[in-house]
Amino acid sequence: MDTTSLIGKELAAAINADTKQRAAALAETGAAPRLALVIPNDDPASAWYVKSLNRAAERNGIACENVDLGVDATAEEIRAKLTELSLDPSVDAIMLQTPLPKGVGLDDVSSAIASAKDVDGVSPLSLGLLAAGLPGFPPATAEAVVELAKFHEIPLAGRHVAVVGRSNVVGKPLLQLLLAENATVTIAHSRTIDLPAVTSAADVVVAAVGRAGLITADHVREGAVVIDVGTNEDENGNITGDVNADSVTGKASALSPVPGGVGPVTTALLMRHVVQAAESAR
């Protein structure tokens, strides 16, 4: 079977074209949308991601400010900064970068981000709004999976989707988005017994577990669609997915590449969220 590549570039470009226009309209009538990146680490991968967000913001006409708190920031300091930015009317959107300093949990600080500015949907309230089907920002990675599937005309309503991974940033919010699309959803994880049997029952398999090459042909039934959310760094510094692409190619009907699949769509959706937050605030 031919395996279609679910490339994200074209969709990301379409989203960005719209975002750029909306950002320009905001800039004309007042100020450009403004995103604050709060950085409480000195992690190279985080620095690389911050740079890519800076560039994406610039390309879209979004003002982006890096708020460096240093690797020794306490939970109180991080919360105080997030609260200050939440109250600052000149800031439209806030993203907190991970990893957090030792001993600080995301849950200790994320609730200090006002949900109207929580463009990556990390706070408990944002998670709850999503679960309740109320207005709020879903985590961009989870949303990117659904948008990528829709763009490539993969039906979700009534279909059985298996999500491997139950994180608060991908697995759990993705489940809510898939239910909203009327999919039947199975959520599997490290404690699942006989993962290949569970995922082979699904029409669509989403790998969001953070283990390079975990999903092989044994996990996928003939003709299934596979979406790879993994971004694992190999020993040479290359990004690889959670799916063993060589193994599933020829058995799956479609597979999203890593890099170049979910990733670019995630960044484009984050920028769209910034513009949406700015539009709502003004």
Residues 11-70 interacting with a copy of itself (rule: CB under 8 A): none
In the block, tokens 């092989």 appear at 216
165 among annotated binding-site residues = yes
Minimum distance between the CB of residue 7 and a copy of itself, rounded to whole angstroms? 28
> Residues 19, 41, 60, 126: which binds a copy of itself (CB under 8 A)?
126
Minimum distance between the CB of residue 120 and a copy of itself, rounded to whole angstroms? 14
CB of 207 closer than 8 Å to CB of 230: yes
Q: Which stretch binds a copy of itself (CB under 8 A): 47-55, 56-64, 151-159, 235-243?
A: 151-159
252 near a copy of itself (CB under 8 A): no
141 among annotated binding-site residues = no
Residues 193-212 interacting with a copy of itself (rule: CB under 8 A): 193, 198, 201
157 near a copy of itself (CB under 8 A): yes
> Residues 184, 232, 247, 249: which binds a copy of itself (CB under 8 A)?
184
Minimum distance between the CB of residue 176 and a copy of itself, rounded to whole angstroms? 8
3-state secondary structure the chain: CCCEECCCHHHHHHHHHHHHHHHHHHHHHCCCCEEEEEECCCCHHHHHHHHHHHHHHHHHCCEEEEEECCCCCCHHHHHHHHHHHHHCCCCCEEEECCCCCCCCCHHHHHHHCCHHHECCCCCHHHHHHHHHCCCCCCCHHHHHHHHHHHHCCCCCCCCEEEEECCCCCCHHHHHHHHHHCCCEEEEECCCCCCHHHHHHCCCEEEECCCCCCCECHHHCCCCCEEEECCCEECCCCCEECCECHHHHECCECEECCCCCCHHHHHHHHHHHHHHHHHHHHC
> Residues 166, 219, 251, 273: which binds a copy of itself (CB under 8 A)?
166
CB of 252 closer than 8 Å to CB of 223: yes
Q: Pairing state of beta strands 93-96 and 232-233? A: unpaired
> Residues 30, 70, 124, 223: which binds a copy of itself (CB under 8 A)?
124
55 among annotated binding-site residues = no
> Residues 2, 28, 191, 236: which binds a copy of itself (CB under 8 A)?
191
Q: Which is nearer to a copy of itself, 142 or 278 (CB)?
A: 142
> Residues 22, 34, 152, 172: which binds a copy of itself (CB under 8 A)?
172
Residues that bind a copy of itself (CB under 8 A): 107, 123-134, 157-160, 166, 168, 172, 175-176, 179, 182, 184-189, 191-193, 198, 201
Binding residues for NADP(+): 165-167, 231
Binding residues: 165-167, 231
